[in-house]
Amino acid sequence: MSTCIETSDLTKCYGPVVAVGGLSLRIETGEVFGLLGPNGAGKSTTLYMLTGLVRPTSGAVTIFGKDLRRGFLEIAARMGVLVERPSFYDHMTARANLLLLARLANRRVAVDRALDRVGLLWAAHQKVHTFSHGMRQRLGLAQALLTEPELLILDEPTNGLDAESTRDTIKLLRLLAEQAKVTIIVSSNLLHEVEILCDRVAIMNRGRLLACERTDRLLSYDPKQVEILVDAPETAAKRLMEQPWVNAVDIAYGRVNVKLGDASVHHLTSFLISSGFIVSGIVPQRRSLQDFFLKVLKR
């Protein structure tokens, strides 16, 4: 796998405020990379620096092996960008807007295909000022996809979309990454969306990169955390709390959640059966991105 984006010690300061400080990242070709963080973490500023809209105070950005400043024209021709709150020429139709943007890209493009991909073909001849927030967002995605880019930089792509459009957008982006090997870098506040979409996530806060992990590793099953279905959950919970090899126990919706200490699930099962409980199920618990996110932010 080759490197698509590389940043080294990327910093952006607005006067005394450090919006992004010393960010070093490497994103592989075909990877879907998520940038997570609370508001003001520096996600959007990072994306703006990757698109050339904001000049870094220091540090370097390399995309497709070329320095962003020197090779901007070549990079921009292979890149699609959706910025936060995408703006268009409201007095023109969706189609006319895309035709103008295609002309700037100096390419013959299938405007209708781009509109169709985001489910907006029916509104192609409608003026943009009549569009809802969600429709504008989808048009923003259409303009990003217009030139069949190899790299997509998307700032909160599902912002303002309804559930169905969000699902379709995520499906489309996954398809682009898997079939067309499009590299996608996306910022979002919606953790469940990032969980489904991204191969790897980075967590930022106050302009700093706090963690960067593969999503499948983060979301793997935790062998030390299980949910038990037993005939007498309250009694079982009470008994388990007395055991030194159990770290934590709680009951929710009639199920006992157990966090094991120095013991295996096999040991737990044997203990419950030998204590006379009827065990109907033991479900290993999956780690969630939210747990990881909150843990990293607390650190």
**Beta pairing class for 208-214 and 246-252:** unpaired
Q: How far is CA 89 from CA 43, 95, 113, 139, 292, in A?
A: 26, 11, 20, 12, 41
Site membership for other proteins, residue 87 (CB under 8 A)? yes
Helix, strand counts (H, E) of the chain? 11, 14
Site membership for other proteins, residue 159 (CB under 8 A)? no
Report how far residue 86's alpha carbon sits from residue 94's, in angstroms, rounded to the nearest whole number.
13
Give the x/- contact pattern for other proteins in 251-290, rule: CB under 8 A: ----------------------------------------
Site membership for other proteins, residue 114 (CB under 8 A)? no
Site membership for other proteins, residue 45 (CB under 8 A)? yes
Scan for tokens 């991909």, then name that residue. 117
Query: Binding other proteins by CB under 8 A: which of 3, 28, 66, 72?
Result: 72
Rank residues 59 and 233 by Cβ distance to other proteins and give the closer one: 59
Q: Which stretch binds other proteins (CB under 8 A): 76-84, 110-118, 199-207, 271-279?
A: 76-84
Do 110 and 102 contact (CB within 8 A), yes or no? no
Query: Binding other proteins by CB under 8 A: which of 77, 110, 248, 283?
Result: 77
Q: Which stretch binds other proteins (CB under 8 A): 25-33, 88-96, 207-215, 278-286?
A: 88-96
Helix (H, G, I), strand (E, B) or coil at 287: coil
Rank residues 117 and 136 by Cβ distance to other proteins and give the closer one: 136
Q: What part of residues 11-30 is at the interface with other proteins (CB under 8 A)?
A: 14
Q: What is the DSSP-derived secondary structure letter of residue 93? A: B
Cβ of 134: how many Cβ atoms within 10 Å?
Answer: 15
Burial class (CB within 10 angstroms; exposed 0-12, middle 13-18, buried 19+) of 103? exposed
288 φ, ψ (degrees, to nearest 5): -110, 155
Rank residues 47 and 260 by Cβ distance to other proteins and give the closer one: 47
| Residue partners of 222: CB distance under 8 A and separation at least 6 | 284, 285, 286, 287
Give the x/- contact pattern for other proteins in 49-68, rule: CB under 8 A: --xxxxx-------------
- Minimal distance, residue 33 CB to other proteins, in Å: 18
Site membership for other proteins, residue 106 (CB under 8 A)? yes
Give the x/- contact pattern for other proteins in 167-186, rule: CB under 8 A: --------------------
Report how far residue 204's alpha carbon sits from residue 220's, in angstroms, rounded to the nearest whole number.
22
Scan for tokens 């033991």, then name that residue. 282
Query: Binding other proteins by CB under 8 A: which of 81, 184, 203, 249?
Result: 81
**Beta pairing class for 66-67 and 79-82:** unpaired
Q: Which residues bind other proteins (CB under 8 A)?
A: 14, 44-45, 48, 51-55, 72-74, 76-77, 79, 81, 83-92, 96, 100-101, 103-106, 143
